[in-house]
Amino acid sequence: MAGVIGLPVRHSLSPVIHAAAFEALGLDWASAAFEVADGDAARAVDGIRALGIRGMSVTMPHKAAVVPLLDELAPSAERLGVVNCIHNDDGHLVGHSTDGAGFVGALRADATFDAAGRRCLVIGAGGAARSIVAALADAQAAEVAVRNRTRSKADETIQLAGPLGSICEEGDDLGRFDLVVNTTSIGMSIGADGDESMPCNPDELHAEQLAVDIIYKPLETRWLAAARSRGLPTLNGVGMLVHQAVEQIRIWTGQEPPVAAMVAAAEAQLAGGR
């Protein structure tokens, strides 16, 4: 048994993606979404132990709360102070953070983009940005710059990239970057309130850059569409969503994950409007 804990979690795509992986691997496993209230992470982790649940994805608001409840942290989780994946290894609970590896994996798989030696700009400095910044540095990017509305959070986030980290100020030239990633929620509320804001001005981008938006609802944000119309190759957030799960399936089962089946399951679910 596997699953995901969070709140809200009812519309999480994780159980469907997990189920597709288990089926393609021929494993008799199931996955479910468990609603766990804020403050109830300890009881949920006790439940994982008592029920012998083998793998649990962890989403908001529990990613930091589960950290002190586990027996061991993988280096990825230790560094970020958050866990998005628990592996129950015969009663020994290990916390991992697979978001960053998922992002880098999606770049490789979906855009044949290897971050090594490349100049990367991450817009935003929240939890998703932190995992991406750390993973790009691990992938030996030449530079990992962060641009964020709140400067202090950008300053904190670039620490994760060590000497590769830098700040990109409002007004700085974006032309030198090979990769521009939006990790903010700008663009999620498309059509809802007529919000015209964008993570950066698409006119500052050019066709030799890769534009990535980690949002997958909508599948194409206004910013990503604008980048595409300027000739940039683009990736939406489906790849990161699937590849962070790919890493989790690898950890839980020890088998090579069936990526294509997992992508197909996520896309079918998103197309169904869930």
Binding range to ligand ATR, per CB under 6 A, among 27-35, 81-89, 118-126, 173-181: 118-126
124 in contact with ligand ATR (CB under 6 A): yes
Among 16, 56, 125, 265, binds ligand ATR (CB under 6 A): 125
Among 54, 61, 74, 126, binds ligand ATR (CB under 6 A): 126
58 in contact with ligand ATR (CB under 6 A): no
Q: What are 177's two structure tokens?
A: 């970057």
Q: How many other β-carbons are positioned within 10 Å of the β-carbon of residue 71?
A: 12
CA distance linking residue 264 with residue 90, whole number of Å? 31
153 in contact with ligand ATR (CB under 6 A): yes
Query: Nearer to ligand ATR by C-beta: 53 or 128?
Result: 128
Query: Ramachandran region of residue 175, left (φ > 0), alpha (ψ -120 to 50) or beta?
Result: alpha
Strand partners, 96: 85
From the list 145, 237, 143, 229, the residue with the least C-alpha distance to 183 is 237
Binding range to ligand ATR, per CB under 6 A, among 18-26, 110-118, 121-129, 263-271: 121-129
Among 76, 148, 209, 221, binds ligand ATR (CB under 6 A): 148
128 in contact with ligand ATR (CB under 6 A): yes
How many positions of this chain bind ligand ATR (CB under 6 A)? Answer: 15
100 in contact with ligand ATR (CB under 6 A): no
Binding range to ligand ATR, per CB under 6 A, among 10-18, 102-110, 145-153, 261-269: 145-153
Among 43, 92, 149, 176, binds ligand ATR (CB under 6 A): 149
- Exactly one of 62, 63, 87, 147 is catalytic; which is it? 63
Residue positions counted in the chain = 274
**Which x/- pattern, by CB under 6 A, does the window 165-204 give for ligand ATR?**
------------------xxxx----------x-------
153 assigned to active site: no
Which letter does DSSP use for residue 64 in this model? T
- The answer to whether 13 and 274 are in contact (CB under 8 A) is yes
Instruction: Mark out the alpha helices in 126-258 (DSSP H runs).
Output: 127-138, 151-158, 222-229, 238-253
- The answer to whether 136 and 144 are in contact (CB under 8 A) is yes
CA distance linking residue 59 with residue 5, whole number of Å? 6
For residue 92, give the 3-state DSSP assignment. Answer: strand
Among 85, 115, 129, 212, binds ligand ATR (CB under 6 A): 129
What sign does the dihedral 215-221-227-228 (CA atoms) show? positive
Chain residues binding ligand ATR by CB under 6 A are 124-129, 148-150, 153, 183-186, 197
Q: Which residues are catalytic?
A: 63
